[in-house]
Chains A and B, each alone.
Chain A
């Protein structure tokens, strides 16, 4: 709304002040959808993002957006999507979020189309859907393998034309409260290094994930867990942090692209996984309870891929991601992997070249240009890569408000929908379903709060002084060295398989890195200085990484995405229990919390589903 030089401060610590009813931090799918909604509710809305508009992670999403549109099979209704989501999440999902998500995803997908998004079509002109792991029916609306690009452009244009103010290349480093409610956020312009205070009646966190803290990752520099750490510092709880998703298929060779994502769409389109002995090993890894849901042999799987989905069952490659990722990990670990540490993913022998180029154009291009592999002729080499944070800010399912009044969260930074394992395609739908709700919730909240809450200028100035600290030191380590060490530490100790000992090591290592960070130094000026940016980001990374390690340590069992080699079985006591992480007086603590109980009719629906499979 207003922009002015009030506020102030002295000397190097001056800052400008911007004021809105609702401030959205993050311009991915969730943030943009929230902004559009809040604006439609009559609020003045600002969106802040670290990169240029349109470059958030959402742009990279490939495979598609999940919604029970029922185009392929009329039986696919929200109930089935709900059941699949709960089952994929091993029942640790917040059932209310899973229900809202399944019910509203179709509305949100049609809405995207009404705003200009184009999805691939069925022969009779409706939205075509593609099969994905853990979904009972073909459920992913998509456009080739560029679904995220389509989505973010649509939302970006909608937001800009609706009159949302966008503050690009601006990073938020601190949140402020007035009493117990949210009051503002301090950021810096990447270009100049100058500071800006956003005052707002409600704040929506839509900052995405934290995968940059792992060495092998599909995530970019942006994913430093800022929103998770900001929320903790503001007094909100994080939930389910141990459930980091390792996507089964990242590139492995050459080293330059290690971790870059290979969409699950490859398997959705019929791609198969083989070890170096030529064995289609996924048949060996199907969990007993789900075996009846999947093809018994290659012949049946082939018929399914060819299109007869009524009489045949899906290929084992389409089981949930946690299972596939661990299977690949094990194959490689036991010596059946390639010299580069991967297995083979083959689409070339399943589909003709034209089809592959049409349905997977960016995969084709990515492998040809970066790995020198023609995927229409040769198999790809793949291995798991850190991909997604299922854990995040604990929120109210209806409004997405956290336990801190006036602080909302949506998208990857929020928790609850995915439980112990996320199904592919359920993130893009999460963004629009809960982005919309967060925007609505924040606008209502802003309307209830009369005047804009006050921000204490002494706190702002103290935060600025701290942020400029590393420029003052004339010697010290480079932030890049510390970041590199953290990424190794997390990869080695908080990866796909974990042990109590390793997790304790990680926590201790993080504490040591934190001390070194306080003594490290930044060279150059404040203008567009990646060294300084990394120094600031590292604070978030360390906090969020610690939350993951502590969550994983607390959960002494294996379930969904959490695999503890020292307790490899699921422990019944943990069946309905989540781990909450809380920060108070600089100390992080964890505590168990029971998942909300499902009403009887929904429970029997899910249990029925377990029985049938």
Chain B
């Protein structure tokens, strides 16, 4: 057993401070365990979100030593042993209290996406026929756990606060899930361009780096969507290039 120091943001949006706590560390402990320990032993009003404690629900997001992480999947023994561990709330969202942030903008973004619309059924019993490779393609995006870590790291939201104009990488992933869905027929290209604000993304790939589900957000979701938008919205030069590429 050893002790470690945790430096944790305590307070509200306007007013807060970093408070240090000492925690006994046992084998295999994750950052969320330490937060719970602090709650139980030292600060019962420390606000933290969590549910599954197994990387499945995306509730426990925060910044650990400045990196957006799921606190339930961050092993303490993986963090530099010679420094205190700093835990702060996701910076891209307003703080409600301590490590809990107001993530309602994400729910608004999700709601704005045109709903799933299936093609008519393939079989007389009203069901569909499609193949595992098609499921796998969409599952890359459907496995998103809505932890909002990618939203947190994206400079368009984090530094420029464009929550109204840009749905962010998480919801471009959601759109990609629909777009690759084997039986969905809705066209979301105008939506992605106009409401979704996909143009704000300048492909820095920071989102891909932090995704705990290892979704290749930029390359597999955003870039193909950008191409779709361009295709659809008739950029003559782009079309020409594509035609040349296709025929050449």
Contact = CB atoms under 8 A, between A and B. Distances in A.
A528 B107 CA distance: 20
B135 A143 contact: yes
B121 to A, nearest CB: 8
Contact of B47 (A115, A222, A528): A528
B53 A260 contact: yes
A519 interface: no
A525 B45 contact: yes
Given A52-B103, A256-B29, A480-B44, A120 B135 contact: yes
Contacts of B182: 118
Contact of B45 (A51, A126, A531): A531
Contacts of A523: 44-45
Interface in A548-587: none
A56 B46 CA distance: 22
B49 interface: yes
B98 interface: yes
B200 interface: no
Interface in A103-129: 110, 113-116, 118-121, 123-128
B28 A371 contact: yes
Given A121-B130, A160-B110, A529 B45 contact: yes
Contacts of A372: 28
Interface stretch (B54-62, B79-87, B153-161, B221-229): B54-62
Given A254-B27, A255-B26, A528-B98, A149 B56 contact: yes
A55 B51 contact: yes
Contacts of A57: 51
Interface in A505-562: 522-525, 527-532, 534
Interface stretch (A175-183, A301-309, A361-369, A411-419): A361-369
B135 A118 contact: yes
Given A160-B111, A524-B44, A530-B47, A254 B132 contact: no
Given A113-B128, A254-B28, A143 B139 contact: yes
Contacts of B55: 362, 365-366, 369
B50 A220 contact: yes
A52 B118 CA distance: 28
Contact of B181 (A118, A160, A191, A481): A118
B188 interface: no
Q: Which of B45, B49, B107, B146 has the most CB of A within 10 A?
A: B45
B197 to A, nearest CB: 20
B73 interface: yes
A531 B47 CA distance: 9
Contacts of A54: 57, 146
Interface string A144-177: 1010011001000110110000001000000000
Given A149-B143, A254-B29, A484-B40, A52 B49 contact: yes
Q: How large is the interface on A (under 10, 10 to 19, 20 to 34, 35 or more residues)?
A: 35 or more
B116 interface: yes
Nearest to A156: B110
Contacts of B53: 220, 257, 260
B214 to A, nearest CB: 9
Contact of A260 (B49, B54, B102, B135): B54
Contacts of A531: 39, 44-45
B96 A146 contact: no
A478 B44 contact: yes
B175 interface: no
Contact of B139 (A144, A256, A371): A144
Interface string A364-405: 011001111000000000000000000000000000000000
B57 A59 contact: yes
B50 A221 contact: yes
A479 interface: yes
Contacts of A114: 118, 121, 126
A278 B118 CA distance: 51
Interface in A250-283: 253-257, 260-261
A524 B45 contact: yes
A120 B26 contact: no
B115 A161 contact: yes
Nearest to B138: A118
A59 B49 CA distance: 15
A60 B135 contact: no
Interface in B65-87: 73, 75
Interface string A5-16: 000000000000
Given A149-B56, A221-B51, A370 B30 contact: yes
A370 B52 CA distance: 13
A531 B98 CA distance: 14
Contacts of A55: 51-52, 57-59
Given A370-B75, A479-B44, A115 B127 contact: no
Interface in A420-435: none
Contact of A60 (B12, B57, B121): B57
A110 B47 contact: no
Contact of A530 (B48, B52, B54, B110): B48
Contacts of B115: 157-158, 161
A366 B143 contact: no
Q: Which of A55, A124, A168, A478 has the most CB of B within 10 A?
A: A55
A369 B53 CA distance: 12
Contact of B30 (A128, A256, A525): A256
Given A116-B184, A118-B138, A119-B135, A126 B127 contact: yes
Contacts of A126: 127, 129
Nearest to A521: B44
A53 interface: yes
Contacts of A51: 49, 51, 59
Contacts of A527: 12, 47, 96-97
A452 B49 CA distance: 35
Nearest to B123: A126
B234 to A, nearest CB: 29
B132 A120 contact: yes
The 7 tightest CB contacts between A and B, nearest first, are A254-B28, A524-B45, A531-B44, A125-B129, A116-B116, A528-B47, A528-B97
10 contacts: A60-B51, A116-B116, A118-B135, A153-B142, A160-B111, A221-B50, A362-B54, A369-B55, A528-B100, A530-B45
Given A116-B178, A143-B142, A479-B44, 13 more contacts: A59-B52, A113-B127, A113-B128, A115-B116, A143-B135, A146-B56, A168-B107, A220-B53, A371-B28, A481-B40, A528-B96, A530-B39, A530-B46
